[in-house]
Structure 1
């Protein structure tokens, strides 16, 4: 006969080990994506640079030039 009682197997240990692995992996992927977006945000030009174009833009003048050039077939 056995002298000691057998210890119960731990059923949650494989699940905990798998979850720990995936949580660490997801955190590393998250840091990579966040760094990519942060770098893209830094390189984005500031919005006020685009306002110079619209400040001096005359859309009616552009429309008339395109109409005279024959780009629009329905507007004669």
Structure 2
């Protein structure tokens, strides 16, 4: 008793018809998951930070701490 020969003709096309929609669906789900799991919370965190951020106050604190070499603290 011998084994039947495998059908090789059209094998790639048959497998692509099965796997290609699955690959597109999974990549779409991954993109949506990344958008709502990573980018949206990051954008919200930036928005929350800049709602209460005072650039002048931050600059003054760094100036007083001596971070900048070209700016003298106001006490001198």
Query: TM-score band, normalised by the shorter chain?
Result: 0.5 to 0.7
Unmatched runs of 5 consecutive residues or more in structure 1: 1-8, 64-76
Cα RMSD between the aligned structures? 2.5
Deviations 1:18-62 (A, max 9, x none): 1110110000000000112112211221177140311x2362x43
Instruction: Show structure 1 runs of 4+ deviating over 6 A.
Output: none
2:59 equivalent to 1:62: no
Deviation at 1:10, TM superposition (A): 5.1
Q: Could you tell me which residue of structure 1 aligns to residue 34 of structure 2?
A: 33
Alignment TM-score, normalising by the size of structure 1 = 0.53
- Tell me the number of residue pairs that the alignment of Structure 1 and Structure 2 aligns: 53
Select the structure of larger CA radius of gyration: 1
Alignment TM-score, normalising by the size of structure 2 = 0.53
